[in-house]
Amino acid sequence: MKNLISGRGRVGTLVVVAGLALFLGAGCQQAELSNASLAPAASYPASASPRLVEIGISFCIPCAMMRPGLDELKTEYAGRLAVEIIDTLENPGAKAQYNAPYCGTQIYIAPSGKELYRHVGYASKQDILSKWRELGVDLAATAGLRETK
């Protein structure tokens, strides 16, 4: 009897967790969309280094999954890459400011302020580093950061 109850308890817990995940993730777009379908290329203020802006919500599952990697990037590439994580619950104007209607949007911005790329959904730390290389931005350089394209 005890095994039967604990088995039902596990199934019930899984159902609740799955339902919660669907509910909380409902506002999040989890598939990559093309740059053209997201927003026109934007321009932002120039900065000393490239910037990665993550627009999300703390309870968005892809956003939460990305957080450790973003924190690592922030630490490991300090001075070479500015990583800004914006929670739209705390800063509701960010979606309009960055023209990012979906949570889990990453915006890659060159030091010149030119938007280079945007992605919606989960991206690992390695995906992000690969995208910067693909965009021609050398994050390995310790000085003289420049856009190579």
Paired sense of beta strands 82-87 and 51-56, if any: parallel
Number of domains in the chain: 1
20: three-class secondary structure by DSSP: helix
147: three-class secondary structure by DSSP: strand
Q: At 112, which CATH number?
A: 3.40.30.10
Angstrom CA distances, 136 to 38, 50, 61, 83, stand at 21, 11, 30, 18
Range of the domain at 45: 1-149
Binning pLDDT at 50, 70 and 90, where does residue 134 land? very high
Which range (42-46, 83-87, 105-109) has the least confidence? 42-46
Mean pLDDT score of the chain, rounded to an integer?
78
Q: What is the pLDDT of residue 58?
A: 87
Q: What is the pLDDT of residue 39?
A: 53
pLDDT for residue 10 is more than 80: no
Binning pLDDT at 50, 70 and 90, where does residue 12 land? low
Interacting residues of 121 by C-beta distance below 8 A, sequence separation 6+: 28, 29, 30, 31, 32, 62, 104
Q: What CA–CA distance (Å, rounded) separates 49 from 57? A: 25
Q: What CA–CA distance (Å, rounded) separates 63 from 104? A: 5
Binning pLDDT at 50, 70 and 90, where does residue 31 land? very low
Average pLDDT (49-72) is 94
Interacting residues of 95 by C-beta distance below 8 A, sequence separation 6+: 55, 88, 101
